[in-house]
Every structure is written in C-alpha cells, then in structure tokens.
Structure 1
Amino acid sequence: MKKMISYIRFVGLIVLIVALFAFTSERNKQRKINRVQIEFIEEQDPYVSELSVNKLLIQNQERVTNVGKEILVLNTVEQELDSHKMIEHSDVYLTVNGELRAQIKQRTPIARVNAVTPFYVDATGNTMPLSDSYSAHVPLVHNVSEREVKEVFPLLKMIQKDDFLKKHVVGVFRNHKGNYELEVRVYSFRTVIGKIENLNSKVKNFKAFYQKALKDKSLDKYKKVSLQFSNQVVCTIK
C-alpha cells in the first residue's frame, strides 16, 4: 500500500512539473518584446546611426517591439542588419525579460577614394559608401577606380597600421604610369612609392630619410623624393 502511495505521488509530481513547464512555455511565447537595446561594440565613429539600425529591426512592416517572441527569427534579423553597407557584423539575442538586444560592429574605413561617386575602402579591402552620419578622417586617394582598389589596398593598409605613415600621409595618388605617390601633411614634396611592391623596405627608407632631413632642417628643399629604387632614396631639389 505504501509503495502504491509513493508511486502515485511520484507520478503526480511528474505531471505537475510537465504542466508547469507547458504553462511557462506558453506564457513565454505570448510575451511581447517590450524593449530594444542597441549597442555599438568597440569605440568607432558613428558611420551608422542608432535610428538606422532601429529601422532595420522591423518584421512584416511592424516594429520589433510589437512582434511576439515566438515569431521573431533572430537569424533573419541579423541577416537584415549584416546586409547594411555600414555594418560589418551584428549579434542579436533576446533576454529572459523580453528585451531584444543588438550588438553592432561597424565597418572601418581606412581611405576615401575621390571618384565621380566617392567611396571608402574599409579595413578588409572592400568598398563602402560614404556615411550620412559622419565623415571619416582618412587619406584621400586620387585617380583610382574600384577595380584598382585591390592593387592599392596593401599600401592603404600599411598607412593605417603604421603610426608614422598614419600621422604624416594625407593622400595617395596614382599617376598615368600606374606608379603611386604619397602626399605628406606638412611638406610639399612628392613621395614616389612606385609599384605596390617591397613596401616594407620602401617605408623603412622613407622613415630614415625623413628623420635625417628633419634633423638637418632640409625637408623644404625637396620637390620629389623617390623610393622606387632598391635600398636608396633619390631626392630632387627644388
């Protein structure tokens, strides 16, 4: 008899747990998303606004906050965000209290190409449109088309990563021979890089020349500094 009572109690406990789980699950499905929180990860300039992200967080022409949690497909929301031309990556998730959170990583422009329709080159070597929210302080690139972005990208990436170049270089120019020149911030001389090859050696030579000429106070004397030739810097005086 005692075994029968224990068995009945055990079965009743199981039924109660299943019922509570089903009830909680149903209540959770019916709960509406009550808040949307957007977070921009990493310290970046605002190339895409929070308002623009909010506009993308829409399902079936309704605001996400009016959509039941059971019909909100997070992967779809992430795909919508990732399709934005200013967004590199997004992570969208729901909290237990019905809050929708979106973490946004923007794309990082490293150069602006001065074309008929200007555009940025980002840190991955892809093109991106100009932002309506913010203008990036990056080197200007002249006489380069979209098809030549891959060619010049190693130079742009080096400028972005190298503190010396990042401080002094404000522009990149591709001449009619396909050689590249740098425009420096203060001085008027042209710095001829030549073809996009042996960049480490060329930059090393340029740094050595610049520091010596700066010490000698002779930087104003030159109109062209050529780094095209192996292990040497050829200067043309004004």
Structure 2
Amino acid sequence: MLIGVVFFLFAFAEKRNHGRVLSEVNLHFTNSENLYLTEEAVNKLLIQNKVKVRSIEKETLDLNRVETLLEAHDMIENAEVFMTVDGKLGAKITQRKPIARVMAGLPYYMDRQGLKMPLSEHYSARVPLVTGVSEDQLQEIHPLVTYIRNDEFLTKHVTELNRLKNGKYRLRLRQLDFEVLLGTVEDIDTKFRNFKAFYLKAMKDEKLNAYKKVDLQFGDQVVCTKK
C-alpha cells in the first residue's frame, strides 16, 4: 500500500511537471548594463522567432536554439539560457562593449573584440572617434584602441585617432591644441611612456600650450614643434 502511494505521488508530480508551461522570462544583464538592448527588444526577438515562452511546455523548448537566436543579435556578445523548475525561462545576457566609434559613410562602433558593431537607438557610448579606417583595418587598430582604453591617463585625454594614408596614426587630445604623431601601431608601450613623461614635464613647466605637434616616432625621443 505504501509503495502504491509513492508511485501515485511520483506519477502525479511527473504529469503536473510535464504539463507546466513557461510562465515568464527573467532577463539578467551582466554588470547591470542594458544600455544598448532593452528587455522589450529581447522579448520581441523571441516572439519573431516563434519562441512562445508562455505556451510551450518545458520539454518542447530547445534552450540551445534560444541561445543561438539571442547571440545572433547585433548587440549581444554572449547568452546563457536556462529554465527553472517552476517553469520560468531565464537568460543571462552579456552585451557587446564598444571601445571606439568609427566615422564612415554610415558610422558604427568597434567592439572590444575588434568587430564592427552598429550604433544603438537607446544609448550613445562615450568612446574615442576613429577616422580614416575601413572595416578591413579594424583588426589593425584594435590593439591601439584597446591599449588606450586600458590606460586611465590615455582614456582621459585621447579623443580621436586618425589613420593617415601612409598607414600611420595621428591622435587628438581633449582640451589641448597640439596633435600627436604616433606612427604605426608598433612599440606603442614605449611611445606612450615617452609621451607621458613629456606631458608631465611640459605641464610642470606650463608649456603644454606652446606646441602644435608632438612626434613619437623616433625611438626614445619626443620631437616637438612649437607654434
């Protein structure tokens, strides 16, 4: 009799669980950042692809397919989809992170992986401008932009990177009237270390506004041209 009761409860629970439908979708954006993508946009994407989470039984929902759909979105870098025992669909979403804005016929971002990323309707990222670069040159400039982004001093001062026709780069700085000739993207650690030393010395001597050009292309030297 006891065994019969156990089997009855197990069968009842199994039947109830099988018939349970997904009641809602819980979205979690990593780092609490949902700047470029809204929850409404995610739900719309699922609906457009016929993932009717409020009417599909748990056993019939392909979580891998949902992950693939989400990761195909232009603003999503990674998605982890899961389902709770009480019939709720959850998704942990990592959005793509822009590190530069490329000025072209149709402007776009470059993300932290060095890939083209469309602008967002919901948020405008405060990142350096990049000019003179084509899409097939993004991987060339990616190490340079990443280096600047990871350096507090450079992030504060560099506002624009311009690729010249000879393949060399010129930088423009915030609130300073001179341009910085960086050259190629090689030896950027040495070049920026020299630039920081020059900047601190010129600021101490109150001569930052005395120059119109600072050239970092000559090894350990910083060649300056006065106005």
Q: Shorter chain as normaliser: what TM range?
A: over 0.9
CA pair 59-110 structure 1, distance change in 2 beyond 3 A: closer
CA pair 143-203 structure 1, distance change in 2 beyond 3 A: same
Q: Does 1:66 align with 2:55?
A: yes
- C-alpha deviation, 1:98, in angstroms: 1.4
TM-score by length of 2: 0.94
Return the alpha-carbon distance in structure 2 between the equivalents of residues 71 and 153 of structure 1: 42
- C-alpha deviation, 1:26, in angstroms: 2.2
Moved more, 44-53 or 77-86: 44-53
| 1:119/1:127 contact within 8 Å kept | yes
Counterpart residue number, 2:87: 98
Q: Does 1:53 align with 2:11?
A: no
- C-alpha deviation, 1:17, in angstroms: 3.6
The alignment covers a number of residue pairs equal to 227
Q: What are structure 1's unaligned runs of at least 5 residues?
A: 1-8
What does 1:20-31 align with in structure 2 at a 5 Å threshold?
20-31=9-20
SS of structure 2 residue aligned to 1:89:
strand
**Which residue, 129, 144, 151 being the options, matches 2:133?**
144
What does 1:217-236 align with in structure 2 at a 5 Å threshold?
217-236=206-225
| 1:30/1:70 contact within 8 Å kept | no
SS of structure 1 residue aligned to 2:54:
helix
SS of structure 2 residue aligned to 1:39:
strand
Counterpart residue number, 1:5: none
CA pair 218-109 structure 1, distance change in 2 beyond 3 A: same
Counterpart residue number, 2:97: 108
- C-alpha deviation, 1:110, in angstroms: 0.3
- C-alpha deviation, 1:43, in angstroms: 3.9
Identity of aligned residues (%): 48
Output the amino acid matched with 2:94: K
Return the alpha-carbon distance in structure 2 between the equivalents of residues 61 and 219 of structure 1: 60
SS of structure 1 residue aligned to 2:41:
helix
- C-alpha deviation, 1:109, in angstroms: 0.4
Counterpart residue number, 2:194: 205
Moved more, 40-49 or 210-219: 40-49
Counterpart residue number, 2:33: 44
Deviations 1:167-214 (A, max 9, x none): 000110011211101110010111011001001000100111111111
SS of structure 1 residue aligned to 2:176:
coil
CA pair 168-59 structure 1, distance change in 2 beyond 3 A: closer
Return the alpha-carbon distance in structure 1 between the equivalents of residues 31 and 51 of structure 2: 30
Output the amino acid matched with 1:179: K
Output the amino acid matched with 1:120: Y
Return the alpha-carbon distance in structure 2 between the equivalents of residues 123 and 60 of structure 1: 28
Return the alpha-carbon distance in structure 1 between the equivalents of residues 49 and 175 of structure 2: 54
Moved more, 180-189 or 22-31: 22-31
Q: What are structure 2's unaligned runs of at least 5 residues?
A: none
Return the alpha-carbon distance in structure 2 between the equivalents of residues 63 and 199 of structure 1: 51
